[in-house]
Amino acid sequence: MKALVAMSGGVDSSVAAALMLEQGHDVVGVTLKQWEGPGGALPTAGCCTVGDAEDARRAAAQLDIPYYVLDYVDEFRHAVVDRFGEQYAAGRTPNPCIECNRKVRFRALLERTAELGCEILVTGHHARITHDDDGWHLRTATDPDKDQSYVLHMLDQTALAQVRLPVGEMSKTDVREHARRLGLRTADKPDSQDLCFVGHGDYRDFLREHFPDVAGPGDIVDTDGTVVGTHAGTVDFTIGQR
């Protein structure tokens, strides 16, 4: 089968591509450009950076597979970043990674899977997909410490039937060891934990820069309407926080 592999530049997606090759599939690698720095370049900090794209390109070259970078900056800005600001303005704490998977990443990747003549979409997520008489099911990963099934909960039956998660059956240690055996440069690359559009900075600084009306100061008022203090911005807090 022809497989489109979403390559983030990390070890998991690099090994996912390698595993599909080892299983005899015809593999094409892609990276989605979802955010940009000054001048339209890829950002230099966080995840989804120019360094990540270069790591993905190198892994694809080592595996001798075609590789493309696809521009989805506008879609990501409207569907994820703008909503990020809107949710904070409404007093909620959003999960932009969920929104990205729901509205941008998987929609874009599944569309491109068909456009590029591929039959299946492969990612490096740590989760499993099974099938029985009741249909397709999303399962937790073999490695519970790395499970990412929660960020894939929006995948419907059509998507689940088309998606493959080859590292979901492996521990993170085994994934890294497999990468080392193949000589992949991503073998010891740390896992990314940053929001791709925030980088290594603080999300509150990002909100104050891009959504100043959302992140401004205000009064702290008790239930009787008495002003008891001031705050630097409601983005510093979330409902239920102690």
Q: At what angle do helices 11-22 and 50-63 cross, to 10 degrees?
A: 20
Beta-bridged to residue 71, according to DSSP, are: 33
* Catalytic annotation, pick one of 47, 48, 118, 196: 196
Question: What are the structure tokens assigned to 80, written together?
Answer: 């994820």
Q: How far is the C-alpha of 166 from the C-alpha of 150, rounded, in Å?
A: 17
* Catalytic annotation, pick one of 47, 48, 100, 118: 100
Q: How far is the C-alpha of 35 from the C-alpha of 198, rounded, in Å?
A: 10
Reported as half-sphere exposure (CB side, CA atoms, 13 A), residue 170 has a value of: 19
Closest residue by Cα to residue 76 from 56, 44, 101, 52: 101
CB 192 within 8 A of CB 10: yes
CB 114 within 8 A of CB 158: no
Residue 48 appears among annotated catalytic residues: no
Helix (H) or strand (E) holding 219: strand 218-221
What does the DSSP 8-state code read for residue 20?
Answer: H
Residue 118 appears among annotated catalytic residues: no
Closest residue by Cα to residue 32 from 78, 83, 95, 75: 75
Q: How far is the C-alpha of 35 from the C-alpha of 164, rounded, in Å?
A: 26
Active site residues: 100, 196
